[in-house]
Amino acid sequence: MTEEGGGRMLHIWAEKAGENLIISIKDNGVGIPAEELCKIQKRIEKQDAQAVEMAPDSGSIGLWNVHQRIRLQYGPGYGLQITSGEKVKGACVSVRIPCRKMS
């Protein structure tokens, strides 16, 4: 949802950062309250799937699944980052993976 009278926007972009590729998806909605964002970030960092599933309001199991699969494939320096700030409307989910040349 956006504030009254505002149009919806979804911005998707990719950028190379050193040896990494960062793919970001950002919207201009109401964002994620700081307390909820903190809970989501803690949930996706958990190594134990059962702990995530058993957590009350564990609506972030999909984010956890993607984050853990990226880390299994590429290592602990990779995965999802979720931000939502007071200065900028909306929320942003970024995926960090290593940049590899296609053969």
Domain containing residue 89: CATH number: 3.30.565.10
pLDDT in tens, 38-89: 988 888 888 765 655 555 555 678 898 999 999 999 999 999 999 997 677 8
Nearest alpha carbon to residue 36 among 63, 11, 14, 2: 63
Residue 58 inside a domain? The answer is yes
Q: Give the whole-angstrom CA distance, residue 55 versus residue 45.
A: 13
Predicted TM-score (pTM) of this structure? 0.79
Reading the block at residue 60, the tokens are 């972030």
Residue 4 inside a domain? The answer is no
Residue 1 inside a domain? The answer is no
Q: What is the domain count for the chain?
A: 1
Residue 92 inside a domain? The answer is yes
Those residues whose C-beta lies under 8 Å from the C-beta of residue 55, and which sit 6 or more positions away, are 43
Q: Give the whole-angstrom CA distance, residue 19 versus residue 61.
A: 29
Residue 103 inside a domain? The answer is no
Query: In this model, does residue 4 exceed pLDDT 60?
Result: no
Query: In this model, does residue 24 exceed pLDDT 80?
Result: yes
Residue 48 inside a domain? The answer is yes
pLDDT given at position 1: 46
pLDDT given at position 54: 52
Residue 18 inside a domain? The answer is yes
Query: In this model, does residue 23 exceed pLDDT 90?
Result: yes
Nearest alpha carbon to residue 46 among 36, 60, 32: 60
Residue 76 inside a domain? The answer is yes
Orientation angle between helical segments 61-74 and 34-45, nearest 10 degrees:
40
pLDDT given at position 2: 47
